[in-house]
A and B are shown apart, each in its own frame.
Chain A
């Protein structure tokens, strides 16, 4: 897709994703936090941000000074480079990486930073004069009012999960088992130290320079047993409090560059990470969780690859149903995917979610000696999928 673009191994990282309202991140300007955190992460990776000449930021929840976009975040990072902000709800993290790849492929930049972030806590509120609405002025709590209402269909995201579960005749028993397995995968990865390889503990300061605390864990994520999951009340078909993700705050970042520069910046120049392909599809209204599977079908057709060719399969799974449907559509064992954790467990701060998924997948692929890496996810009724190759 972008033969000249590369992701230098190891020049990435994320904050932990504390569940919404559980950490100092609930109280900060997340754009500033992300900029400063990126400098810190790249510093730990021995990568001076002075290498950057472009910055793609991805964020979906309005933040203070958003008007100033990537420029102000870049200033907080410590390197005044041009750039822009993009957003595509839950697909933001992957789409930002793709856009950075395009930036390199076109020759417009040598090193583009991808910086994705969101704060779902303390949702900003938008006030929109709406003369045709009976209330004349609509007030929207950006996070929860949007999660709960798709203006195109009038339905909620949660309802779309129920719709898909019914369409594919998914049973709650399977979804509970799948969820329990995802929790096991996450905690196994955590205990093995895998998460510490890319997630960075970050101390947040208040205005007086005093510590508000160190974000050193995916706060709020607790072990869930199958029995507990089974006992949970269904909110819609196969959807319980346990089988869906939770809102969180956080940031994730990586660099995209050309092949030569990747060798210079990479923490292991022998590892070569290429962009192979990407696609997007749109499925029927209110059928969000089936969109990723359809996107992957299309992507495999597009590339001529099969699931057997893929080394690492990882997705953004806001509902466990996503994975169950994917397995059914692709005839693929859901136990083989999301080996090192997934957003279903570690949370959903929107913007950075798929960036963290990608980072985890690339780390896993390197551990496995390389291969194709399939990343996919959903955004409303859109499915997005992409393949990278780790040599």
Chain B
């Protein structure tokens, strides 16, 4: 029997747990089977129709599905009214960037553009045997209903999904797959359906991220993002602060630039969508969501929020502490109040809700994680302060009680989960970058497994929300740019967490199953006794390119594990920052690289049989004499790059040159000291800090 800290998000899709994946040695569903179920058998494959295909959402989804369904020869019928602005051609450039010209042309070959008059369907459609309709027509309920009838009459049994940004499924009469942001590279879909369907599972198996939602007005992303826009507008209207500056402050405290985002998407369409979402929410829930006068105006005019180039901002704004506090109260107060409604309604599990904030609304930190960190009392006080500043909000009910029990695993484990079967544990991380929340949750997960006397553990991603592991969240380093104590604290504590996988389990196995694993995440994984990866997974320590010095023992840990003859390969990885394919790193960095299924089976074999299944490479605990110079890394002829290399080389030599017990402090010190240098400040982290915080 499996035990778990909390329910895995995979289970909400009816796909079992991550532990089951390892036990079964395969993924819960199979692409070919799902394709057959959704589109019919190979000899009688049907087509996918995307209606409203020329719009912002439709065109993005045409590209997304065309590229993913191409290998299965499933035609994408892009249907729209005659004369609709051609949104599909606009996507072509992006397709070329992602797949190269030949690949893009190949995908385009599979897109069939048809027009219809809105009242009847083209005759030719029948010849494509449509099985699946993704509707992306304008947000008018009656129009949509007529549209569905048209398809149902012509193609009984066709599966229909609406991409609607607001209407509940019960009003539409069809299920919903709401793309959480129309952009073609965004993988998240908010799904509304009674039971997880094969179509939903197909999305997952195609590498997309479906999340199950309840059937309520609007969607989690829309409430978050439109809610943030509304709160920003409320603050703007109260303070007169220009939109561009409000954007800057909002970005500092929560992450996105709501106003710029509207302009970037296309103000005319985006203003309408935001207004429409808020307008309908205000009808359903009350004045908390009421669009402001300026949003009404911008909806009607389609005007950008940022001034045109000839009126680039001239007078700067600075907020004093009181001003910052008011901004904080309005932004977070509004979002907390809105979120309480969604939690009360059980719109989604906490993990998904939190992830949508990060993955789609571009929050620096998930909103539920932020709330958890603030605690019940602060949340209530913030909402109260908000309602004082914006009394209209108090006319909409809110639910402070939902924040009472924040010590449950659902609240505590938003990014990290743990499961075990009494003998083997699996710890899964659903966040692509490592931050203090992940660190804390990871420690709690380790504690939980240890409490349950689990001695063998697999550390991996969650096979759902996290499709890659990109490294440390560099926004966490901002305080370290001016304070070495902060840099040291982060590096030392995170390294301590990583070491727990080496010290506190008999066997630990880092299983990398995404496209790439880099930086801090790779440092974490390398601390496991075994490091597994998919054959083509890219691995890299790109710190030198930022530049920063790896903080989680990346400068010595893997070197201590490698044979002396292989150490220069690791030094090259650190000094060049280039990616290495897992299959090319077997033996000196990776312990096992294979197809996913073989990797799953081998990992489970080790968990069952122990180290006899694959010898463990020992971590040398004594001091090593390492000379980076001896690795003969060619000079880059870039003085700043060479300066960063020198700092990393010093760290390698000194951290390796100390016993393992001391190396953790040495590496953390080097990392922290470098963080306050001019070079680091000029680099990616410093520039990002200046851009966001200055």
Q: Which residues of A contact B (CB under 8 A)?
A: 28-29, 32-33, 36-37, 39-40, 42-43, 47-50, 75-76, 78, 80, 202-205, 207, 209, 211
Instruction: Please tell me if B242 contacts chain A, counting CB pairs below 8 Å.
Output: yes
Do A203 and B312 touch (CB < 8 A)? Answer: no
Do B242 and A203 touch (CB < 8 A)? Answer: no
A-side contacts of B238, CB under 8 Å: 48
Interface string of B276-308 (1 = CB under 8 A from A): 000000000000000001100100000000010
Query: Which residues 233-247 of B have a CB within 8 angstroms of A?
Result: 236-242
Residues of B within 8 A of A (CB-CB), count: 19
Q: B237's contact among A40, A48, A207, by CB below 8 Å, is which? A: A48
Instruction: Please tell me if B314 contacts chain A, counting CB pairs below 8 Å.
Output: yes
Q: A204's contact among B242, B294, B316, B317, by CB below 8 Å, is which? A: B316
Do B315 and A37 touch (CB < 8 A)? Answer: yes
Do B242 and A80 touch (CB < 8 A)? Answer: no
Knowing A48-B239, A80-B297, say if A36 contacts B315 (CB, 8 Å).
Answer: yes
Nearest Cβ in chain B — how far from A211, in angstroms?
Answer: 7
Knowing A48-B239, A48-B240, say if A40 contacts B297 (CB, 8 Å).
Answer: no
- In the assembled complex, the Cα of A233 lies from the Cα of B312 at a distance in Å of 45
Nearest Cβ in chain B — how far from A214, in angstroms?
Answer: 8
Do A40 and B240 touch (CB < 8 A)? Answer: yes
Instruction: Please tell me if B404 contacts chain A, counting CB pairs below 8 Å.
Output: no
Smallest Cβ-Cβ distance to B297: which chain A residue:
A80
Smallest Cβ-Cβ distance to A15: which chain B residue:
B315
Instruction: Please tell me if B153 contacts chain A, counting CB pairs below 8 Å.
Output: no
Smallest Cβ-Cβ distance to A204: which chain B residue:
B314
Do B314 and A43 touch (CB < 8 A)? Answer: no
- In the assembled complex, the Cα of A211 lies from the Cα of B313 at a distance in Å of 11
Supplied contacts A40-B317, A50-B294, 16 more A-B pairs, CB within 8 Å: A29-B314, A32-B311, A32-B314, A36-B315, A37-B315, A39-B242, A43-B317, A48-B237, A48-B239, A49-B240, A78-B240, A202-B316, A203-B318, A204-B316, A205-B314, A209-B313
A-side contacts of B240, CB under 8 Å: 39-40, 42-43, 47-49, 78
- In the assembled complex, the Cα of A76 lies from the Cα of B318 at a distance in Å of 18
- In the assembled complex, the Cα of A181 lies from the Cα of B242 at a distance in Å of 42
A-side contacts of B297, CB under 8 Å: 80
Do B241 and A43 touch (CB < 8 A)? Answer: yes
Nearest Cβ in chain B — how far from A274, in angstroms?
Answer: 27
Smallest Cβ-Cβ distance to A40: which chain B residue:
B315
Smallest Cβ-Cβ distance to A28: which chain B residue:
B314
Knowing A50-B293, A80-B297, say if A202 contacts B239 (CB, 8 Å).
Answer: no
A-side contacts of B311, CB under 8 Å: 29, 32, 75-76
Do A78 and B242 touch (CB < 8 A)? Answer: yes
Smallest Cβ-Cβ distance to B301: which chain A residue:
A80
- In the assembled complex, the Cα of A40 lies from the Cα of B239 at a distance in Å of 8
Do B316 and A43 touch (CB < 8 A)? Answer: no
Query: Which residues 305-346 of B have a CB within 8 angstroms of A?
Result: 307, 311-318
Knowing A78-B242, A80-B297, say if A36 contacts B314 (CB, 8 Å).
Answer: yes
Smallest Cβ-Cβ distance to B248: which chain A residue:
A209
A-side contacts of B315, CB under 8 Å: 33, 36-37, 39-40, 202-205
- In the assembled complex, the Cα of A225 lies from the Cα of B238 at a distance in Å of 46
Nearest Cβ in chain B — how far from A44, in angstroms?
Answer: 9
- In the assembled complex, the Cα of A78 lies from the Cα of B294 at a distance in Å of 9
Query: Which residues 202-250 of B have a CB within 8 angstroms of A?
Result: 236-242
Q: A211's contact among B242, B312, B316, B317, by CB below 8 Å, is which? A: B316
Nearest Cβ in chain A — how far from B239, in angstroms?
Answer: 5
Nearest Cβ in chain B — how far from A201, in angstroms?
Answer: 10
B-side contacts of A211, CB under 8 Å: 316
Knowing A50-B293, A80-B297, A203-B318, say if A36 contacts B239 (CB, 8 Å).
Answer: no
- In the assembled complex, the Cα of A75 lies from the Cα of B238 at a distance in Å of 17
Do B313 and A36 touch (CB < 8 A)? Answer: yes
A-side contacts of B318, CB under 8 Å: 203
Do A209 and B312 touch (CB < 8 A)? Answer: yes
Jot down 19 A-B pairs with beta carbons below 8 A, ordered by A: A28-B314, A29-B314, A33-B314, A33-B315, A36-B313, A36-B314, A37-B315, A39-B240, A40-B240, A42-B240, A43-B240, A47-B240, A48-B237, A48-B238, A48-B240, A78-B236, A204-B316, A205-B312, A205-B316
A-side contacts of B307, CB under 8 Å: 76
Nearest Cβ in chain B — how far from A313, in angstroms?
Answer: 33
B-side contacts of A49, CB under 8 Å: 240
Counting chain A CB atoms within 10 Å of each CB, which of B242, B312, B315, B318 scores highest?
A: B315
B-side contacts of A39, CB under 8 Å: 240-242, 315
- In the assembled complex, the Cα of A77 lies from the Cα of B236 at a distance in Å of 12
- In the assembled complex, the Cα of A104 lies from the Cα of B241 at a distance in Å of 26
The 8 closest A-B pairs by CB, nearest first: A43-B240, A36-B315, A203-B316, A39-B240, A43-B239, A49-B240, A207-B312, A37-B315
Nearest Cβ in chain A — how far from B266, in angstroms?
Answer: 21
Nearest Cβ in chain B — how far from A215, in angstroms?
Answer: 10
Smallest Cβ-Cβ distance to B309: which chain A residue:
A207
Do B316 and A50 touch (CB < 8 A)? Answer: no
- In the assembled complex, the Cα of A76 lies from the Cα of B244 at a distance in Å of 12
B-side contacts of A209, CB under 8 Å: 312-313
- In the assembled complex, the Cα of A33 lies from the Cα of B242 at a distance in Å of 13
- In the assembled complex, the Cα of A209 lies from the Cα of B248 at a distance in Å of 12
Smallest Cβ-Cβ distance to B238: which chain A residue:
A48
A-side contacts of B239, CB under 8 Å: 43, 48
A-side contacts of B294, CB under 8 Å: 50
Nearest Cβ in chain A — how far from B555, in angstroms?
Answer: 37
- In the assembled complex, the Cα of A87 lies from the Cα of B239 at a distance in Å of 30
Nearest Cβ in chain A — how far from B277, in angstroms?
Answer: 22
Smallest Cβ-Cβ distance to A212: which chain B residue:
B314
Smallest Cβ-Cβ distance to B323: which chain A residue:
A43
A-side contacts of B314, CB under 8 Å: 28-29, 32-33, 36, 204-205
A-side contacts of B293, CB under 8 Å: 50
- In the assembled complex, the Cα of A28 lies from the Cα of B316 at a distance in Å of 14
Nearest Cβ in chain A — how far from B191, in angstroms?
Answer: 40
B-side contacts of A36, CB under 8 Å: 242, 313-315
Nearest Cβ in chain A — how far from B193, in angstroms?
Answer: 43
B-side contacts of A33, CB under 8 Å: 314-315
- In the assembled complex, the Cα of A268 lies from the Cα of B657 at a distance in Å of 71
Smallest Cβ-Cβ distance to B319: which chain A residue:
A43
Nearest Cβ in chain B — how far from A288, in angstroms?
Answer: 34
Do B237 and A205 touch (CB < 8 A)? Answer: no
Q: B313's contact among A42, A47, A205, by CB below 8 Å, is which? A: A205
A-side contacts of B317, CB under 8 Å: 40, 43
Query: Which residues 364-405 of B have a CB within 8 angstroms of A?
Result: none
Smallest Cβ-Cβ distance to A25: which chain B residue:
B314
- In the assembled complex, the Cα of A43 lies from the Cα of B238 at a distance in Å of 8
- In the assembled complex, the Cα of A72 lies from the Cα of B93 at a distance in Å of 37
Counting chain A CB atoms within 10 Å of each CB, which of B240, B317, B318 scores highest?
A: B240
A-side contacts of B236, CB under 8 Å: 78
Smallest Cβ-Cβ distance to B244: which chain A residue:
A209
A-side contacts of B316, CB under 8 Å: 202-205, 211
- In the assembled complex, the Cα of A204 lies from the Cα of B313 at a distance in Å of 9
B-side contacts of A40, CB under 8 Å: 240, 315, 317
B-side contacts of A28, CB under 8 Å: 314
Nearest Cβ in chain B — how far from A163, in angstroms?
Answer: 41
Nearest Cβ in chain A — how far from B490, in angstroms?
Answer: 30
Counting chain B CB atoms within 10 Å of each CB, which of A37, A47, A48, A78 scores highest?
A: A78
Interface string of B77-106 (1 = CB under 8 A from A): 000000000000000000000000000000
Nearest Cβ in chain B — how far from A223, in angstroms?
Answer: 29
- In the assembled complex, the Cα of A209 lies from the Cα of B578 at a distance in Å of 35
Nearest Cβ in chain B — how far from A200, in angstroms?
Answer: 10
- In the assembled complex, the Cα of A28 lies from the Cα of B241 at a distance in Å of 20
B-side contacts of A43, CB under 8 Å: 239-241, 317
- In the assembled complex, the Cα of A76 lies from the Cα of B308 at a distance in Å of 11
Smallest Cβ-Cβ distance to B312: which chain A residue:
A207
Nearest Cβ in chain A — how far from B548, in angstroms?
Answer: 26
- In the assembled complex, the Cα of A47 lies from the Cα of B237 at a distance in Å of 10
